[in-house]
Amino acid sequence: MTYLLRRLAVFPLVMLGVSVFVFVAIRLVPGDAITAMLGTEAGMLTPAQREALTAYFGLDQNWAVQYGRWLAGLFRGDLGISVTYGQPVLDLILERFPLTLQLALMSMVIALLIGLPAGVFAAVHANRASDLIVRILAMVGQSMPNFVVALLAIFILSVGFGVLPTMGSYVHFTEDPLGNLAQMILPAFALGTAFAAAVTRITRAAMLDILSEDYVRTARSQGFSERYVIWRHALPNALIPVLTLSGVEFGYLLGGAVIVEQIFALPGLGRVVLDAILERDYALVQGVILFIAFNFMLVNLLVDLAYAALDPRIRYGNQS
């Protein structure tokens, strides 16, 4: 069995484990589900009405029966109905995911455009004043929470200079590309800066190791320019740890950046799952977490396959 098939065979087992964990975890959250769903109106319910609602949502059954019904619906492509939004969970996920995907992609692009050149620059100028400045900036960027960066960006660029909107009704990219990018650039920058700092540090460390290798010295002795040696010979071999870090971060971002989405009022997956947890929307929490777990596994699989493209010495096909 090939490496790809073996990895794909593990997917259902992991998803099953995640489904059991999230099913139990959300039901262990303190509080009554009916009260959380209805808020203050729950106090107006009669005991008979409460029992009827409990039976309607299937909460009167034991956990094994509830899980069995939900799992059976999952195999039919039915993740249930969200009691918070009043629509199928799968439709809600597919409606909100494009925003989260766009935010994740923009954040990754910003992080790599900043982090890779900065890391290479620091490694080439190792132990100099410029290297020290880059490292200090990277440490500051990595230690600063993204919500602090978001608030500072809002205050400086939106409130101070009025350059970009702070928030508002979300506009889809297909409807108004410029308006969409104006809304998304600040949250993407807030998420991308912290990751850019991490990329800078890991790129610098990897490049320092690579620049001391024999093949780099050989390339220099053959008369190639320093820029060619760095960007053509050294950097591609230093990208594997960067790719590993990027895969983990991208999988995390696909799960939604809850705080940043809240600050900028973006209707992404992060806000959906937060609202679902607060409202005890069991079906929505289970569906979104399962979708996030699938994305995370898929991204990690693609990252593993990309290793072979970056380093020809890595082969998966016939490994046992």
DSSP letter for each residue of 76-134: TT---B-TTTSSBHHHHHHHHHHHHHHHHHHHHHHHHHHHHHHHHHHHHTTTSHHHHHH
Q: What is the mean pLDDT of residues 62-76?
A: 88
Query: Any idea what the Cα angle at residue 236 is, between residues 234 and 241, rounded to 5°?
Result: 105
Task: Find the distance separating the first CA and the last CA of the chain, reported in whole Å.
Answer: 9
Condensed to tens digits (0 to 9), the pLDDT of residues 82-104 reads 877 878 999 999 998 999 999 99
DSSP letter for each residue of 6-68: HHHHHHHHHHHHHHHHHHHHHHTSSS-HHHHHHGGGGGG--HHHHHHHHHHTTTTS-HHHHHH
The answer to whether residues 245 and 233 touch, using CB atoms and an 8 Å cutoff, is no
Condensed to tens digits (0 to 9), the pLDDT of residues 253-302 reads 887 678 888 888 888 888 888 888 888 888 888 999 999 999 988 988 88
3-state DSSP call for residue 192? helix
**What's this model's pTM, rounded to 2 decimal places?**
0.82
CA-to-CA distance for 290 and 287, rounded, in angstroms? 5
